[in-house]
Structure 1
Amino acid sequence: MKRIVVIGGGESAEHAVSLAGADGLAAALEQAGFAVERLTISADGCWMHDGVPLAPTPALSLQLAVGVLAGADAVLPVVHGRGGEDGALAALCALAHVPVVGSGVAAGAIGMDKWATKLVAEAIGIRTAPAQLVDASDIGDIEFEQEVVVKPVSAGSSHGVTLVRQADQLQAALHEAAHHDRRILIEQVVRGREIDVAVLRDSGGVRWATPPLEIHANGLFDTASKYDGTARFEVPAELSRRDRTALTGAALRMFDALGCAGVARIDFFLTAEGPVLNEVNTTPGMTAQSQVPLMFAAAGVSYPELVRRMVASALEGVPR
């Protein structure tokens, strides 16, 4: 029986979301026939093994956690944000020569960086919202003449994201984003339907896209609406063949351009002129109620089967 280590938690604002995803994935792995061990990173950076603290400091506990990783057939990280989704855990697994389920170092690092992701998208002909990149030290000099969205360059679950409609709201929005990252994006508002597409790299290197999912929310799909139940997901989204082809094609191209593996979620705005990329999630939310499992369910792939296929791809040694 293959032994899979699931890593959850982390030091980012998405700690609780990561723990919920780790719970779901561990249960799905066991249902799929794997032996599962759990490593959890506390909010202060200390590691635990199956709920037991390994040491009182991050460095000492990491030293012992590496011993747990060394005995794994594969590692499934579900740590969002810095220290996880940004490629850090993939790098740790690469140094330990343990297969990682999901994207490797480069894809995680670039996908986490919204500015770098924009540059990749534009290089391959995928539209993004016009944006300005600013440093936290310069926010006192920033002005705007239209509605904008302010967001930290590297943060997830819409933490630090604000829709600014009036000029006197801008400084507060910039300071809120700066709590999460010194680098801040100021984007022009894109009017369109919010559509997600999940992509899986299967065994044999074959990658394919799920039926798109549409997010119905009252206003901005922000941190609150993501987790308070007010947003509604429609999958498959009601789309023309042309729009569906454009969305899935763009999702596959972004997946390939970033060098993703495992599962990634590609988020778009669908406008009258076609898809506009919002962001790429190389470590998307993975509770049974999250967008990605819902999209695969619409494609006839159950949650345990999805996880089994993700692990099979990693064990096969598909390049990441």
Structure 2
Amino acid sequence: MKKNIAIIMGGYSSEYGISMKSGNVVNKYLNPQKYNAYRVIVSKEKWFHLDKDDNEFPVDRADFSICPNGQKIQFDCVFNAIHGTPGEDGLMQAYFELLGIPHTSCNHYESALTFNKRDLLSTLKPYAIPCAVSYHLNKGQDVDQDAIIKKVGLPCFVKANRAGSSYGVSKVYQNSELQKAIETAFKEDDQVIIESFLEGTEVSVGVITYKGEVMVLPITEIISENDFFDFEAKYQGKSQEITPARINATQEQNVRKLAKFIYQTLGLKGYTRSEFIFIGDVPHLLEVNTTPGLTEESLLPQQAREAGISLEELFDSAITEALT
């Protein structure tokens, strides 16, 4: 019997549009011989199933069911394609775990932890994982620009602590630019992380569970045409994404080992994509994404293709693992 799969997409953050693209790609490639796929849009205003004719049917949040044409449908599994809150920060995961509905992303605590850059780096600190020097700010806190510059130096990156797709990120070269960058970050989140600039080769490493085994995918080298890997570079073609990355054997071994170690140490599941910058042969961790982009052009699908895994196989594996 075919499984009923809810593909959740949308969300409450600036990444809404990107998530919609990811969700529609998942819907396109899920095997119709194995699955009944249902697009479910999650927004601040409403949750609803959108059928192929763009008719809307509300979601009953008491049990996460829908009732198109008077027939109640409950789901065997949820495919999570929401980037940002509430799909990447643990909220949806906790909801599905309370309802006992399997889902394709990692559990609620791990989702919340990895989405919070400051908490993630603090949790990994005892393992001596290399990363940038950082300074933390909360909204309403006094901004001591001299203390910030003394700790992280210039140039530096100012980031919203809990946001993705480079929303709320600025590269700061001069003290006079710092306040505006902090204000930009606070538009996305009430917590900010300011990090020292790391100059080196940037790579993205996908780690997934595939056919019951933790698998490190081929590595992607990122070369931005802009000042850093910002929104334009990620989504509007302003970058080169080279898979496999042009790195030496020692660098490849080091980053593959570290990415897998982080995945297993944190108890992650499903898909992840971690970003690193090499200083010499040493990879420095930037962040871990637990709901990475899933369009045909996104980094994780690029890496899967290089590994000989089609989108149909990639998406099928996520559901299989969730139902195991």
Structure 2 residue 243 is the aligned partner of structure 1 residue 235: yes
Cα distance change, pair 32–282 in 1 and its aligned pair in 2 (3 A)? farther
Partner of 2:46: 46
Q: Which of 210, 219, 222 lines up with 2:217 in the alignment?
A: 210
The CA deviation at 1:3 is: 1.5
Partner of 1:22: 23
CA distance in 2, matches of 1:46, 1:169: 39
Structure with greater proportional helix content: 1
The runs of 5 or more residues in structure 2 that have no matched partner are 67-71
CA distance in 2, matches of 1:32, 1:170: 54
Partner of 1:63: 61
Structure 2 residue 100 is the aligned partner of structure 1 residue 106: no
Partner of 1:58: none
CA distance in 1, matches of 2:187, 2:155: 22
| Letter of the 2:14 counterpart | A
For the residue of structure 1 that corresponds to 2:119, the secondary structure is helix
Q: Which of 61, 86, 91 lines up with 2:89 in the alignment?
A: 86
Pairing 1:220-231 to 2, within 5 Å after superposition: 220-231=228-239
Identity %, equivalent residues: 28
**Which whole-Å deviations, capped at 9, do the CAs of 1:42-74 have from their partners, x for residues lacking one?**
3x331111244456xxxxx55267124971111
Cα distance change, pair 243–31 in 1 and its aligned pair in 2 (3 A)? farther
The CA deviation at 1:32 is: 6.9
| Letter of the 2:193 counterpart | L
- TM-score normalized by the length of structure 1: 0.92
The runs of 5 or more residues in structure 1 that have no matched partner are 56-60
Structure 2 residue 82 is the aligned partner of structure 1 residue 75: no
Q: Is the 8 A contact 2:134 2:193 kept in 1?
A: yes
CA distance in 2, matches of 1:157, 1:261: 21
Cα distance change, pair 298–158 in 1 and its aligned pair in 2 (3 A)? same
Structure 2 residue 196 is the aligned partner of structure 1 residue 188: yes
Structure 2 residue 284 is the aligned partner of structure 1 residue 281: no
Deviates more, 1:61-70 or 1:195-204: 61-70
Q: Which of 269, 272, 292 lines up with 2:300 in the alignment?
A: 292
Shift >4 Å, 4+ stretches: 51-55
CA distance in 2, matches of 1:132, 1:32: 51
Q: Is the 8 A contact 1:7 1:41 kept in 2?
A: yes
The CA deviation at 1:123 is: 2.1
For the residue of structure 2 that corresponds to 1:177, the secondary structure is helix
Q: Is the 8 A contact 1:74 1:99 kept in 2?
A: yes
- TM-score normalized by the length of structure 2: 0.91
Q: Is the 8 A contact 1:264 1:284 kept in 2?
A: yes
**Which whole-Å deviations, capped at 9, do the CAs of 1:100-121 have from their partners, x for residues lacking one?**
1121101110110001111233
Partner of 2:37: 36
Partner of 1:245: 253
CA distance in 2, matches of 1:187, 1:295: 28
Q: Which of 151, 154, 160 lines up with 1:146 in the alignment?
A: 154
Q: Is the 8 A contact 1:47 1:65 kept in 2?
A: no
Q: Is the 8 A contact 1:111 1:117 kept in 2?
A: yes
Cα distance change, pair 274–157 in 1 and its aligned pair in 2 (3 A)? same
**Which whole-Å deviations, capped at 9, do the CAs of 1:231-266 have from their partners, x for residues lacking one?**
111001112221111111111111112211111001
Cα distance change, pair 253–305 in 1 and its aligned pair in 2 (3 A)? same
Q: Is the 8 A contact 2:105 2:290 kept in 1?
A: yes
Partner of 2:266: 258
| Letter of the 2:13 counterpart | S
For the residue of structure 2 that corresponds to 1:269, the secondary structure is strand
Q: Which of 102, 122, 136 lines up with 1:119 in the alignment?
A: 122
Q: Is the 8 A contact 2:81 2:291 kept in 1?
A: yes
